[in-house]
């Protein structure tokens, strides 16, 4: 009986030292040079913190990923939607640079220590109905093509 108590005590001490898993959601564009800088930073951060799970979403060619980013941005109170955008814990940041990197790492460390829900838990049941830049471009292209056909 004494051994069982000792094992439970040791298990409790070991589990207290374990860091919580952290979900980080990263929205990027294939045409964005800053996104590649952020991608490299996040790879290094993930290497330093194995419990960090980075989920990437390419938004240029995926309208649903664009809508997911816009919806999350609104839920987090961001004023604009742009890439690169990172959501982790209570943090939503846009852009690159040392200040952004420090904010991300600080929030990852906080979430490791305290635990944080996945940013996706903030998503409502349906994504916002907005057009992605690709869809806008396609609509404009079709419109121009129709105008050219009508004027001939």
Examine residue 9 and state whether it is found in any structural domain, yes or no.
no
Domain count, the chain: 1
Grade residue 13 by pLDDT with cuts at 50, 70 and 90: very low
Domain span at residue 126 reads: 20-151
pLDDT in tens, 30-45: 999 999 999 999 999 9
Average pLDDT over the chain, rounded to an integer: 84
* 104 and 88 Cβ atoms separated by less than 8 Å: yes
Inform me whether the pLDDT recorded for 90 exceeds 60.
Answer: yes
The pairing of beta strand 22-28 with beta strand 91-94: unpaired
Domain membership of residue 11 (yes or no) is no
pLDDT in tens, 28-81: 999 999 999 999 999 999 999 999 999 999 999 999 999 999 999 999 999 888
Task: Please indicate, yes or no, if residue 14 is contained in any of the structural domains.
Answer: no
In a domain, 3, yes or no: no
pLDDT tens, position by position, 124-134: 887 656 656 66
- Give the side-chain half-sphere CA count within 13 A for 86: 28
**Phi first, then psi: what are they for 70, rounded to 5°?**
-60, -45
Return phi, psi of residue 85, to 5°: -130, 135
Q: Which CATH number covers residue 110?
A: 3.40.30.10
59 versus 151: the higher-pLDDT residue is: 59
Residue from 52, 69, 55 nearest 105 by CA: 52
């Amino acid at each position: 009986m004494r051994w069982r108590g000792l094992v439970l005590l040791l298990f409790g001490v070991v589990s207290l030292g374990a860091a919580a898993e952290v979900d980080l959601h990263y929205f990027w564009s294939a045409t964005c040079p800053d996104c590649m800088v952020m991608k490299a930073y996040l790879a290094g951060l993930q290497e330093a913190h194995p419990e960090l799970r980075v989920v990437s979403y390419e938004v240029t060619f995926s309208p649903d990923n664009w809508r997911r980013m816009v919806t999350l941005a609104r839920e987090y109170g961001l004023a604009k939607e742009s890439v690169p955008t990172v959501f982790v814990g209570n943090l939503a940041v846009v852009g690159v640079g040392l200040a952004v990197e420090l904010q991300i790492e600080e929030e990852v460390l906080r979430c490791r220590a305290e635990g944080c829900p996945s940013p996706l838990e903030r998503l409502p049941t349906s994504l916002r109905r907005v057009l992605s830049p690709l869809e806008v471009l396609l609509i404009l292209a079709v419109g121009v093509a129709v105008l050219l056909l009508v004027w001939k």
